[in-house]
Amino acid sequence: MNDTQAPPPVARALKLAPSLLAADFARLGDELRAAEAGGADLIHVDVMDGHFVPNLSLGPLIVEACRRVTSLPLDVHLMISSPERYIGAFAEAGADIITVHAEATPHLHRALGLIRECGVQAGVALNPATPLTVLNEVLALVDLVLVMSVNPGFGGQTFIEGSLRRLRAARAIIDAQRPGCLLEVDGGINHETAPRAYHAGADVLVAGSAVFGGEGGVAHNLTALREAVQRADG
């Protein structure tokens, strides 16, 4: 390498975040332990209010129960309107990261500040039709950007192809303005889309059905996802 050549890019660490939405809630403790033993990096917890998204899921009580079972970081994704009303409750329940949707509140800046005040890492999520320009206004306040690759509300949906372009654009914004901020992708991640999402710039891949579904078991599914990304590397 001579002085004018850029150093080779450092490979980004891949983080897998199983989404509890696809877990068997009757065996939640076992599912969490299996995810941790299988090499998950975070546990993604989908909170839905039947208002911001057309589905209901879980609240702080379940987050508190998860906290007692796993030492993995709890990555709490609030798909709820006016999330600032519940940030304190989720922080108290043991969330490590709380992500709010840019579309869910007229007070996004306040909500992100409130998360930080609670001593929790802050994330901002963007629906598939939300312009990435909102990032310019809040990037200094966040530790994680979540690019939704489905319309939020349900697991098991098909990955929206345009998300790859959005991931590449979000990666460029983060690298230029806030290196170290994580880029997460959520929705339709499987052995086929995981390598493409990672190579488009995602650090954290959220996967529900691909981890907790199928016959192979959680550890096998996590390994398969990781190997799919590594194969595409080589």
Ligand X SMILES: O=C(CO)[C@H](O)[C@H](O)COP(=O)(O)O
Q: Which residues are annotated as a binding site for a divalent metal cation?
A: 44, 46, 77, 186
Q: Which is nearer to ligand X, 28 or 113 (CB)?
A: 28
Active site residue 30: no
Of 23, 169, 152, nearest to 81 by C-alpha is 152
CB of 211 to ligand X, least distance (A): 8
How far is 52 from 201, CA to CA, in rounded Å?
Answer: 27
Least separation in angstroms between residue 189's CB and ligand X is 5
The residue annotated as part of the active site, out of 41, 46, 49, 143, is 46
Burial-class residue 20 by CB neighbours within 10 Å (0-12, 13-18, 19+).
buried
* Residue closer to ligand X, measured from CB, 70 or 159: 159
Tell me the residue number closest to ligand X, measured at CB.
Answer: 208
Smallest separation (angstroms) from ligand X to the CB of 95: 15
The single-letter code of the amino acid at 82 is S
115-141 b/e with 16+ CB inside 10 Å = b? beebebbbbbbbbeebebeebeebbeb
Given the complex with ligand X, which of 9 and 126 has the nearer CB atom? 126
Taking CA atoms, 234 is separated from 1, 11, 26, in Å, by 22, 12, 40
Residue closer to ligand X by CB (options 3, 215) is: 215
Residues of each annotated binding site for substrate: 19, 77, 153-156, 186-188, 208-209
Annotated catalytic residue 46 = yes
Q: Output the smallest distance, CB 222 to ligand X, in A.
A: 13
Contact residues for ligand X, defined by CB under 6 A: 19, 21-22, 44, 46, 77, 79, 150, 152-157, 186-189, 206-210
Instruction: Show which residues are catalytic.
Output: 46, 186
